[in-house]
Every structure is written in structure tokens, then in C-alpha cells.
């Protein structure tokens, strides 16, 4: 099995009323934890790399880790650039073997977003690579971009047909109230998503795969594991799992998860050191971290996304 694009995955997910998990990867233990979980439940996967991950771990190392995961699991895996912000970055990932890229032009004007996205689509499609575009702005932090709540904006459904037609994108990320990071809703408030916006987008773009960023649920167990072992995280509220289930049944075919992986990994490492303050072999504390990621991802694939058995 070689790396695949997300085309077939999205077609089946749309028809089947489930979503594909898109998990951010930064090192070997994260790749192993995610792919071992997917192997156990026979789920297709999107592994995504941000520009920060690429700077941290290096393109070739990440590429080879994902290739190793394919050899070990024999699963259909799509390797995707998360939040590409320039044509050059997307080109570099396409030339370097990724099968999917996101060009995030959501910080530009509508016309400039179309122009930049079209340029990436032309380059990608000629080489058999698929492209995710974005309309609307999520709050939160992604790499160098910090979007405040005030600057965040829901996707305007009236713009989606023009955007998709003029750019030729293969999938579209929209903003319906999710946000990046661990602090998605104010403590004491009730999480809410604009399912009416998603419905309207779905009506205007029949059979078209929609992407949900900022979809971590911020599992309390892991926040408690951090705070119970010397951490000091403020109250963190994520996207309730039943809302993700609802989105997956609708047009949402790709659900992005990163913060939950970070919390699981950090929680288990903090716990390990709290219990073994004299240990210093990285394999000892990275093993439970990898196991925590595996458990988290398995639960997402089976109980939230519904993509188990679909590989």
C-alpha cells in the first residue's frame, strides 16, 4: 500500500455518514500511537503535518515515519499539510511526496483567498494531489497566527459556491464555532456550534466534503492528569463529542484533532514523572505517552467519528 489521497475516503465517508480523523503528527511516538489504534479497528487515516511540525521534526523524517506506518499497518493513509499559508510551502510538500495540502487563505480577502487557492489547486491537481481550502476564520492559535475571538468569523454560506467553483478545491474547511487549542469556550458557558451554517453550506454544496478544524474535545481526564501531577492549566472546555458525532453524520468528512493528543501525551508524562521522579530513560516515559495516544485515538475512531471498519 502506498500513500493515498483523501478522495475515496471522503466519498465513502459522505455516503456512510461518518468522518475521517485527521490527526497532527510531530514525532515517532505520536505516529505510532495513532496508527496502532487505527490498525486495531481497521480505520482509514489522515496524518497531518503543520509547518511548525515540519520545522520541528524535518520533512524527510516525518515522511519516512508515515511510510513506516504504512508498511506496519497496511492501512490507507493520506499525508496532508495542515494550514499551509503560502504557495511555496504547499509546493514544497507536494514536491516532497504529500498527497494532500491545505492552503489556508482565510486571513486574506475573499478575492485574494480565491486567487491563492486557485494557484495551489492548479499545481497540486497536475501532480495528483488534493487540496483543502478554508472560508471563515477560527479563533485560537495555529503556528504564527493568533486569531482573537473578536477577529474570528463564521463562514458565510452565500460565498461557498463561488469559492469552490472558482478555486476547484477538493474539500472546504468552514468556521462554525470551533477554535484551535485547549480553551475553546469560556468556563461556565455552554458550548455551541452553528449547525445552521453547516446545513446551509451542505444545501449549497451537495455531496461536497466539509472539514472541521479545532475539533478536540479537551478530555477532562487528561486535563486532570496534568493538573493532578504538578500542572497548572486553567479551566479548559472543548467540543462535546455528541456535536462531533452530529457533524460527522452531516457533510463533515474530516475532523481535525491535535490538542487532545498533546494533552494525552503531556498528562501521561507528568504522571509518570510524579510517580518515578528518579527515572531518566526516555523510553520509560514515552511508552505510556504512546499508549495514552493510542487509547484516545481508538476511542475517537470508534465512538466519535464512526470510521472503524472502513479501511
Question: Which residues carry out catalysis?
Answer: 82
Residue 14 C-alpha from the chain's centroid: 17
Cβ distance 203 to 170 under 8 Å?
no
Sketch the per residue contact string, 272 through 291, with ligand G3H: x for CB under 6 A, - otherwise: --------------------
CA gap 187, 139 in Å, rounded: 16
Residue from 40, 67, 115, 143 binding ligand G3H (CB under 6 A): 143
Q: Of the two residues 24 and 35, which places its CB atom closer to ligand 13P in the complex?
A: 24
Residue whose grid cell is 485515538: 297
CA gap 45, 243 in Å, rounded: 21
Q: Is 53 in the site for ligand G3H (CB under 6 A)?
A: yes
Q: Is 279 part of any known ligand binding site?
A: no
C-alpha cell at 142: 495555529
Binding site for ligand 13P (CB under 6 A): 24, 82-83, 180-181, 213-216, 256-260
Q: Of the two residues 177 and 269, which places its CB atom closer to Zn ion in the complex?
A: 177
Report the sign of the C-alpha dihedral through residues 11, 131, 256, 60, in that order.
Answer: positive
Question: To the nearest whole angstrom, how small is the minimum distance from the Cβ of residue 212 to ligand G3H?
Answer: 12
Q: Of the two residues 76 and 181, which places its CB atom closer to ligand 13P in the complex?
A: 181
CA gap 190, 78 in Å, rounded: 34
Half-sphere exposure of 245 (CA within 13 A, CB side): 9
Q: Is 213 part of any known ligand binding site?
A: yes
Give the binding range for Zn ion (CB under 5 A) out of 93-101, 121-129, 190-198, 209-217.
209-217
Q: Is 213 in the site for Zn ion (CB under 5 A)?
A: yes
Q: Is 151 part of any known ligand binding site?
A: no
53 binds, among ligand 13P, ligand G3H, Zn ion, none (CB under 5 to 8 A by kind): ligand G3H
CA gap 83, 102 in Å, rounded: 5
**Closest by Cα among 7, 5, 13, 8 to 247:** 13
Binding site, annotated residues for Zn(2+): 83, 104, 134, 180, 213
Return residues touching ligand G3H (CB under 6 A). Answer: 24, 50, 52-53, 82-83, 142-143, 180, 258
Amino acid at each position: 500500500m502506498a500513500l493515498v489521497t483523501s478522495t475515496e475516503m471522503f466519498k465513502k465517508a459522505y455516503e456512510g455518514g461518518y468522518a475521517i480523523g485527521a490527526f497532527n503528527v510531530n514525532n515517532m511516538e505520536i505516529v505510532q500511537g495513532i496508527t496502532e489504534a487505527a490498525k486495531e479497528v481497521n480505520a482509514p487515516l489522515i496524518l497531518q503535518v503543520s509547518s511548525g511540525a515540519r520545522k520541528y521534526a524535518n520533512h524527510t523524517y516525518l515522511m519516512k515515519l508515515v511510510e513506516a506506518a504504512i508498511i506496519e499497518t497496511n492501512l490507507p493513509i493520506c499525508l496532508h499539510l495542515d494550514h499551509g499559508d503560502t504557495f511555496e510551502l504547499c509546493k514544497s510538500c507536494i514536491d516532497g511526496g504529500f498527497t494532500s495540502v491545505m492552503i489556508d487563505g482565510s486571513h486574506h480577502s475573499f478575492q485574494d483567498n480565491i486567487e491563492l487557492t486557485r494557484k495551489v489547486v492548479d499545481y497540486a491537481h497536475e501532480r495528483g494531489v488534493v487540496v483543502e481550502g478554508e472560508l471563515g476564520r477560527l479563533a485560537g492559535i495555529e503556528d504564527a497566527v493568533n486569531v482573537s475571538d473578536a477577529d474570528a468569523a463564521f463562514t458565510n454560506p452565500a460565498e461557498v459556491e463561488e469559492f469552490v467553483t472558482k478555486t476547484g478545491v477538493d474539500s472546504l474547511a468552514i468556521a462554525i464555532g470551533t477554535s484551535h487549542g485547549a480553551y475553546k469556550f469560556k468556563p461556565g458557558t455552554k458550548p455551541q456550534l452553528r449547525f445552521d451554517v453547516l446545513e446551509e453550506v451542505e444545501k449549497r454544496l451537495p455531496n461536497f466534503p466539509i472539514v472541521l478544524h479545532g475539533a478536540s474535545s479537551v478530555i477532562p481526564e487528561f486535563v486532570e492528569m496534568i493538573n493532578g501531577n504538578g500542572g497548572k492549566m486553567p479551566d479548559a472546555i472543548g467540543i462535546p463529542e455528541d456535536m462531533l458525532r452530529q457533524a460527522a453524520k452531516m457533510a463533515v468528512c474530516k475532523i481535525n484533532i491535535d490538542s487532545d493528543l498533546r494533552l494525552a501525551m503531556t498528562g501521561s508524562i507528568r504522571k509518570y514523572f510524579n510517580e518515578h521522579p528518579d527515572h531518566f530513560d526516555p523510553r520509560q516515559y514515552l511508552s505510556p505517552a504512546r499508549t495514552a495516544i493510542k487509547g484516545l485515538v481508538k476511542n475517537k475512531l470508534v465512538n466519535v467519528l464512526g470510521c472503524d471498519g472502513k479501511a
